[in-house]
Amino acid sequence: MPAVLEHLGLMSRFLFQAFPGVGRELKGWRELASRCPDPELKKQALASLTLKRFHCQGAAVFAVGQGNCHRELLRALVALQTLSDYLDNLCDRAGVQEEEAFRQLHHAFRDALTPGDALKDYYQDYPYRQDGGYLTALVKACRQSLGALPSYPQVQGQVRWLGELYCQLQVTKHLPTEWREARLIQWLEPLLQNLPEPLNWWELAAATGSTLGIFALMAAALKPRIATEEVERLTAAYFPWIGGLHILLDYYIDRQEDREGKDLNFVTYYRSERETLLRLQYFLRRAMEEATSLPDPVFHRTVVWGLPALYLSDPKVAAQGATDTRRLLLLKGGLPSCYLFFLCSFLRRAGVI
């Protein structure tokens, strides 16, 4: 019963403290984005804020894991996720395919995680440049808030490592179609060899694309002290298992639109719907095992339960005729995932997410 009450308390703080806080943060970023002088940058900034709002809402759960919503942590979470979504749009939606441009842009993500580093000209190799200070403001806001977290220096090494993996994926997956797959496999091969159990290359690629491990470490930095062992355990739980589940589900619901847009989708590498289901179930089981072994297991299990609930409540699942797979995945998550699925469905109908 105490665990149930803890879970309900977490969800209450998430809905009534974190959600309104995300709204306030995004309102400020939307006002700044609307003043971008360059029409293309303005378009991509506003599109990311509108169409990917739920990414920030999901990230906000990490701001309430240890009690009432922590304002500085929430500010860092929203700034980093907004920055991530904006950069993704710049690489994916603006008609640019230049590797050096993508690499230079993603120095903004790295710098956001590194208080004290010198800022760079992030648009140096990009054809559009005048954003009215929008990207730099996101970087500054994130690092300023991270600097206020008591134990951030203790987690920063692992945060930067996960951030580097994330940036490398974003640069490589947006390269021209004729050679991006070969480049991805070449990059991932050494990482695959060092895993404790075998994964498909596209599963590991998906895991590198998740920001959840970074968010979990940022949240852990709220503690006055954090042991090296806890930092390592958190990293190993979120990479590759919880983060892999996160991004595989994201790709799963986007299969049809990615097919139509000829975009890279890691889930389409599975040979059948049944293989897809079995691998998603496996990632869900391993993610839950890892979450249960962590300090604050109720919080981390809630994160895992929430992933199928959030993504599978998207109307795109029914539109693709994937309701049987949805049902089996939710059953694998148990009653908490089913309860959160109905909550997410209600919030979608209400226009909240």
pLDDT digits (tens, 9 = 90+) for 229-274: 999 999 999 999 999 999 999 999 999 988 888 889 999 999 999 9
Closest CA to 202 of 187, 213, 215: 187
Spatial neighbors of 278 by CB under 8 A, at least 6 apart, are: none
pLDDT digits (tens, 9 = 90+) for 333-346: 999 999 999 999 99
- Whether 96 is covered by a domain: the verdict is yes
pLDDT digits (tens, 9 = 90+) for 74-129: 999 999 999 999 999 999 988 898 999 999 999 999 999 999 889 999 999 999 99
Number of domains in the chain: 1
pLDDT digits (tens, 9 = 90+) for 114-172: 998 899 999 999 999 999 999 999 999 999 999 999 999 999 999 999 999 999 999 99
Read off φ and ψ for residue 70, nearest 5 degrees: -90, 115
- Whether 3 is covered by a domain: the verdict is yes
Residue 158 to residues 10, 143, 153, 165, Cα–Cα distance (Å): 26, 16, 10, 11
Q: Give the domain range for residue 2.
A: 1-148
- Whether 202 is covered by a domain: the verdict is no
What pLDDT is recorded for position 2? Answer: 60
- Whether 267 is covered by a domain: the verdict is no
pLDDT digits (tens, 9 = 90+) for 53-69: 999 999 999 999 888 88
- Whether 203 is covered by a domain: the verdict is no
Hey, is 155 helix, strand or coil? Answer: helix
- Whether 38 is covered by a domain: the verdict is yes
Q: Is the pLDDT of residue 7 over 80?
A: no
pLDDT digits (tens, 9 = 90+) for 162-205: 999 999 999 999 998 889 999 999 999 999 999 989 999 999 99
Where are the alpha helices (H) located in 125-268, listed in sequence order?
134-146, 152-173, 177-193, 201-208, 212-220, 228-236, 243-253, 255-261
What pLDDT is recorded for position 1? Answer: 40
- Whether 233 is covered by a domain: the verdict is no
Q: Contact, 49 vs 30, CB < 8 A? A: yes
- Whether 349 is covered by a domain: the verdict is no
